[in-house]
Structure 1
Amino acid sequence: MITYLKTLSTFCFALLLPFIGSSQSKIFENPKANTVIECQQWEVIDLIFPVNKKVKAPFEVTATAEVTDGTRTQQIPLFYNDNGTWVLRYSSAIIGEKSFVITSELKGLNGKKGKISISENKKAERHGGIVLNENNPQHLFYEDGSHYFNLAFECDWLFALDYGEKDIAKTKHLLSLINEYRFNQVVMNVYSYDVSWPKDKRLAEHPEHEYGGREDIFPFLGSNSKPDYSSLNIDFFKHFDKVISEMHDQEIVSHLMIYVWNKLVSWPEMESEADNRYYDYVIKRYQAFPNIVWDVSKEALHKTRATAGYISERIERTRNLDSYDRLVSVHDYGFCRNHADEVDFISMQNWQHTLYQNMLNARNDFPNKPIFNIEHGGYEESPYVVFPGAYANAEVCLRRNYMCLFAGGYTTYYWQGASWNALIHNPFEQPDDFEKPHFEYFTHMQKLFDTAPFENFEPNARYNGSGYNLTNKKDGIIMMYTPKENHYTSAKVQISKEFNYENATQQWFNTITGEFTPKEKYKMVELGFWDFRPWRYEADAILIIRNLKPKN
């Protein structure tokens, strides 16, 4: 049985307020102590407790629910939600009967009790939170034991898409596209203000796509230009609830970056009362969601505001508050490298042409940690030049994602029309002269790994030859990634030394179209480079050899 490093105390907690459509969570107003609240495994519920007394500093009120099933106990912080109400947001990976009692200095909350019954999950595509696996430490898994093929989509301004609207129709549309094309994670900010670099003049002609610089959106009182740090803006978080809840409904993980230093945000002073209030509130409010992965900050040590000591303190703060033990990382490879024992996976940001080797080196340096390249400098072009980075051509960006995978790590896709302040939620409904994204390339990528379990592969640079090698001895598969300029690639030397291949088959996979050639019997040819590989000069391709039997 798989043993997890981070998941034994898996009661999950959930959302609030009546939401629209599929974004609605189960709400229980002032539940009675003798009422058994029913929900499914990994479903998020909100238990709302009104307090009929004016509280002077509600965000500073400490209220904790002790939840137990008689064997395991969980200490879950409640959060204030305006109008004299506190919320116990809950979810659970453990089926069975639970009871809870609230402890607080506030008499209206102290001693509140209740019961919760968790039944088996009935949603086929729901697998629980993201966890580590001590038997396979360089890969990510769901709580039910299935592999989580982390394929992320950067969308920093997702929080702003429908802000101030009655529903979140645009958010739902974009998330549905992300889901349809089989991305399963969004790398996102809780809040960003604007970019500091030049903006494409064409963006001014389409204000419906500009989300930077909005003064009506701010997690504190006031605005980003005139901040009032005396309290938090509950309406901001009520809207954000809808976004995270919709992501959970669509089984999309939120890689949630709590801060960002290079997007012109007027943050309060480090470790001030206002800073701690904001940070703690985010952890309290969203920890119950199984689809949460914490990231202390985007560009964590990029600006002078943050220090390594401050980031370490925020990590410790997260672990002390998060009763679900969600995974934690930091968007800064230097920090992760120097503080590997503090993070659950290594986050990289690497633009170099030698990306594959850099990823491989990181994997070798941290044999007990998953490696996730959040930003590899490939930002696919869009109707606007938002941030060109180092690579903008769609096929080159795709190749860099495969370089991460074939080095044994996970990867992130950027489209300039959705990653930053320019946010086109419906790209395929734009005029013909608008540059459309190639989301389909990543659907093909997922299709490939549906047939070849990524969690059982290891990069084998010794046998790269003219491509990149991934070897899966457990299932008897070798894959050789071949750039379209390459005339030839082969696994001949490796197979002759390590495998019996009497029943082996081979076929090719086109990374651009998703096409597989028919399987044929594998033949070890002495001078195979005399035979042209398919799609030469047209598309990068992957040679897949199956049904190999290890000699030892």
Structure 2
Amino acid sequence: MKYTQKVERWCVFEIELQSSKEFAKPFHEVRLQAHFQKEQIQTKVHGFYDGGSTWKIRFMPEEEGTYTFQISSNQDEFNGLNGAFESTRALEGNHGPVKVNGKHFSFADGTPFFVMGTTAYAWTYRPEEVRKQTLESFSKYGFNKIRMLVFPKYYKGGVNDVDITYDPPVFPFAGKPNEFDFQMLLPEYFQNYEERVMDLLRLGIEADVILFHPYDCWGIDRGMQQEDDLLYIQYMIARLSAFRNVWWSLANEYDIMETEEGKFCVGMDRKDWDLFGSFIKANDSHHHPISNHNIPLGFIYPDRDWLTHVSYQHPDTYTLLLELKNSYNKPVINDEYQYEGNIKDDWGNSDAQTTVFRHWLSAMAGGYASHGEVIKSEGNDKDLFWSYGGKLVGESGPRLKYMKQILESCSYQKMERDPRNTDGHHYYALHNGIDEYLIFCRYDLPGKNLWYGPFDGTEPEYEATIYDVWKCEMMERKTVKKGYPFSILEWTVVHLKKIP
């Protein structure tokens, strides 16, 4: 048995076990779990097979201090093993896992987390140089949550304007396409995936792990039965839940289905999503966020106790997001509002202005969103960022980074929609009482001024900062009294903070 005596709080404590036996069916013949205890708190986690003669158990200590553990197994050489380790203080930059905080998100140490997502479904199994470019793009533009599939990505839909057909170097299961043994997972595939999760962790980026998706030419989605699904989900929990940057998304477009004749249709029961969500909630001892993602013409997943937040797909990032926040009373992320791109299909041909506008609207509704880019260059219809990563080349990335910087300078989680300064077309606003205002202006509206401050005859002073959010520059900062007129000009943001 190998393990490290000390591990940083919210980092991965790992036990490695070597078996003296060989197993024809290691996923069924070996049962392995460990109980971790600190004072009166006890946590159970399952171990997993990592190839060869190796089994591992992973745990994320969520407190400082001494933890003890004891292993139980149906294998005598593992059963009864025990030990202890020390959880040390979290170092700078380690804020712990993201948790739901009302209708928003915060890290475990209380630091607010503003979601600025993007999409790279299948970047995980591309060549090293492409992965390096992808990570550089994530960091360059401040993206901090990446939607990424576990299974390989295939797509030749719509008007066949894109060709997403790369095979991974190794598949997730033993066998070959359309003849996989879904009860025999291949650790090599999942080792690569977890290394990509660790790449993100080192950059302070959340991995939104998408467990299932319908776009498949290898017979994975159609072939897996419920017992296969649960074995796979349990394996993913055992492998990844100890990483603090993991989120669970049950599916990408969970409600896409097909008839027995192969006709496209939409429904909610391609798989038993409630079973999967409840299973993750019950077995993920570290309680990572869980969501389920719809197709826009389908069904936004109904509220459930296992559903920590709403992940939806629709080009309406304002009105619908407001409705969902109010009806679910949970955080809402528009994880796909259509992508900046130049392909023929409407889901991937938004211009940069539309993309940036929609993303700002999600924030003005008090929610969050995920960007994506589908830009063909020199006729290349295959190496598209939204699927395979690489280099972001669109115009929206730098403007979304600037948007994130502005919003993180505000008390965003305390702010609500301000109808006094919102007309639903030219300008939109958030406020924290009379203490702080954030007004986003999309179009010019000559002659209209903003309403802010108390209406009791007093004239408090405000620090006013005006930004041009298209040019990504601060235009002016000054002190004003209540009543000072601000013009509503396109692509400007006015931030007002009351001076005590």
TM-score, normalization: structure 1?
A: 0.80
For 1:299 and 1:282, how far apart are their aligned partners in 2?
Answer: 20
Q: Distance in 2 between matches of 1:261 and 1:98?
A: 42
Q: Is the 8 A contact 2:462 2:497 kept in 1?
A: yes
Query: In the comparison of the two structures, how many residue pairs are matched?
Result: 478
Question: 2:402 corresponds to which letter in structure 1?
Answer: H
Alpha-carbon displacement from aligned partner over 1:168-188 (angstroms, at most 9, x marks no partner): 453233223312321111011
Alignment partner, residue 171 of structure 1: 131
Q: 1:490 to 1:72 in 2, by over 3 A?
A: farther
Q: Structure 1 residues 313, 501: closer, same or farther in 2, change over 3 A?
A: farther
Alpha-carbon distance change, 100 to 460 in structure 1, aligned in 2, over 3 angstroms: same
Q: Is the 8 A contact 2:348 2:373 kept in 1?
A: no
How far apart are residue 265 of structure 1 and its match?
5.2
- From 443, 446, 450, the equivalent of 1:491 is 450
| 1:514 to 2:468 alignment | no
Partner of residue 8, structure 1: none
User: Which residue of 1 is the match for residue 246 of structure 2?
Assistant: 292
* 2:391 corresponds to: 426
Tell me the distance in 1 between the aligned counterparts of 2:458 and 2:202. 46
2:291/2:307 contact within 8 Å kept = yes
| Equivalences for residues 34-433 of structure 1 within 5 A | 37-60=5-28, 61-122=30-91, 124-133=92-101, 137-162=102-127, 168-197=128-157, 212-214=165-167, 216-264=169-217, 266=219, 267=221, 269=223, 271-304=225-258, 307=269, 310-332=272-294, 338-352=302-316, 355-367=317-329, 369-377=330-338, 379-381=339-341, 385=343, 388-389=346-347, 392-417=350-375, 418-421=384-387, 423-427=388-392
Matched-pair identity in %? 18
Separation in structure 1 between the aligned mates of residue 268 and residue 48 of structure 2, nearest angstrom: 26
Equivalent residue, structure 1, for 2:417: 459
The DSSP-based 3-state class of the residue aligned with 2:474 is: coil
CA distance in 2 between partners of 1:296 and 1:341 (Å):
14
Q: Quick one: distance in 2 between partners of 1:346 and 1:255? A: 13
Between the aligned partners of 1:181 and 1:511, the Cα distance in structure 2 is 14
Question: Contact between 2:248 and 2:291, CA under 8 Å: does it hold in 1?
Answer: yes
Offset of residue 300 of structure 1: 1.0
- Stretch of structure 1 that moved more, 480-489 or 517-526: 517-526
Offset of 1:547 from its aligned partner?
Answer: 0.9
Deviation by residue 1:33-56 (Cα, 9 ceiling, x = unmatched): xxx611111222432100101123
Taking a change above 3 Å as real, the CA distance of residues 424 and 365 of structure 1, as seen in their structure-2 partners, is closer
Relative to 1, partners in 2 of residues 1:545 and 1:299: Cα closer, same or farther, differing over 3 Å? same
1:249-305 CA distance string (max 9 Å, x none)? 111101111001134452255644333222221121111110011111110112258
| Cα 1:424/1:259, change in 2 over 3 Å | closer
SS at match of 1:491: coil
| Deviation (angstroms), 1:126 | 1.8
Name whichever of 451-460 and 513-522 sits farther off.
Answer: 513-522
Which residue identity is paired with 1:47?
I
Equivalent residue letter for 1:172: K
Deviation of 1:229 after TM superposition, in Å, equals: 2.6
Taking the aligned partners of 1:500 and 1:48, their CA distance within structure 2 comes to 67
Mark the runs of 5 or more structure 1 residues left unpaired by the alignment.
1-29, 163-167, 204-209, 428-434
* Paired residue secondary structure (1:177): helix
Q: Is this contact kept in 2: 1:67–1:75, CA < 8 A?
A: yes
Answer whether contact 2:13 2:61 (CA < 8 A) is retained.
no
Match of 2:263 in 1: none
Deviation at 1:144, TM superposition (A): 0.6
Tell me the distance in 1 between the aligned counterparts of 2:481 and 2:218.
Answer: 60
In structure 1, C-alpha distance between the alignment counterparts of 2:143 and 2:459, rounded to whole Å:
35
Aligned counterparts of 2:111 and 2:479: Cα–Cα separation in 1:
31
Compute the displacement of 1:489 (Å): 5.2
Answer yes or no: is 1:547 the counterpart of 2:495: no
Q: Name 1:442's counterpart in structure 2.
A: 400
Instruction: Measure the CA separation in 2 of the matches of 1:357 and 1:336.
Output: 15
Could you say what secondary structure the match of 2:71 adopts?
strand
Determine the C-alpha separation between the residues in 1 that align with 2:475 and 2:386: 38
* Contact 1:479 1:545 (C-alpha < 8 Å) held by counterparts: yes
What CA distance in whole angstroms lies between the structure 1 residues aligned with 2:225 and 2:182? 13
Q: What whole-Å deviation, never above 9, does each CA across 1:137-159 have from its counterpart, x for those lacking one?
A: 11101001110111111111122
Letter aligned with residue 55 of structure 1? F
Distance in 2 separating the partners of 1:439 and 1:112:
50
Q: Is the 8 A contact 1:219 1:233 kept in 2?
A: yes
CA distance in 2 between partners of 1:226 and 1:215 (Å): 16
Contact 2:209/2:246 (<8 A) preserved: yes
> Structure 1, residues 173-206: CA drift from partner, whole Å, max 9, x if none?
32233123211110111113310315777x7xxx
The 3 A distance-change label for structure 1 pair 501 and 415 is farther
Contact 2:119–2:370 (8 Å) recurs in 1: yes
The 1:489/1:190 distance shift into structure 2, 3 A limit, reads farther
Judging changes above 3 Å, is the alpha-carbon distance between structure 1 residues 144 and 496 closer, same or farther for their aligned structure 2 residues? closer
CA distance in 2, matches of 1:450, 1:154: 21
1:416 CA displacement: 1.1
Counterpart-to-counterpart distance in 2, 1:336 and 1:511: 31
The alpha carbon displacement at 1:225 in A equals 4.3
Aligned residue identity for 1:53 = K
SS of equivalent to 2:231: helix
Say if 2:105 and 2:114, in contact at 8 Å, map to a contact too.
yes
SS of the residue aligned with 1:251?
coil
Q: TM-score, normalised by structure 2?
A: 0.88
Change (3 A) 1:308 1:83: closer
Q: Is the Cα contact below 8 Å between 2:322 and 2:366 reproduced in 1? A: yes
Q: Distance in 2 between matches of 1:444 and 1:455?
A: 18
> Any idea what SS the aligned residue of 2:103 has?
coil
- Judged with a 3 Å threshold, the aligned counterparts in structure 2 of structure 1 residues 109 and 490 are, in CA distance, closer, same or farther, namely farther
Q: CA deviation at 1:533?
A: 4.7
